[in-house]
């Protein structure tokens, strides 16, 4: 039973990371194309379709690299985990 709970926790952590990275990529798209000072041009529509595949690719890359850094296995202190997050993000 314990191994099943650990697996569920790992999947939840990876899913949460994926959701945050995907939302961040789409938010960056919205800021680039749809909002006032940062918008390119004069407030046209936001090209969501053009950014869905790259956002998905970046999301998968982040989750794979975070897995490679051992972030879903736990057992690290706060600074160790923070360092692994920084390394994974820099690699991505």
Asked whether residue 14 carries a pLDDT value surpassing 70, the answer given is yes
Whether the predicted pLDDT of 34 surpasses 90? no
Residue 89 to residue 70: CA distance in whole angstroms:
13
73 or 39: whose pLDDT is higher?
Answer: 73
Of 12, 16, 21, 9, nearest in space to 89 by CA: 21
- Cβ-count burial of 57 within 10 angstroms (0-12 exposed, 13-18 middle, 19+ buried)? exposed
Over pLDDT 90: what percentage of the chain? 28
């Amino acid at each position: 039973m314990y191994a099943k709970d650990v697996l569920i926790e790992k999947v939840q952590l990876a899913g949460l990371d994926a959701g945050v990275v995907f939302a961040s990529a789409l938010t960056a798209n919205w800021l680039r194309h749809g909002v006032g000072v940062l918008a390119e041009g004069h407030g046209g529509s936001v090209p969501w379709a053009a950014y869905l595949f790259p956002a998905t690719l970046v999301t998968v890359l982040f989750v794979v690299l975070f897995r490679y850094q051992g972030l879903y296995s736990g057992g690290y202190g706060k600074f160790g985990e923070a360092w692994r997050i920084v390394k994974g993000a820099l690699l991505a």
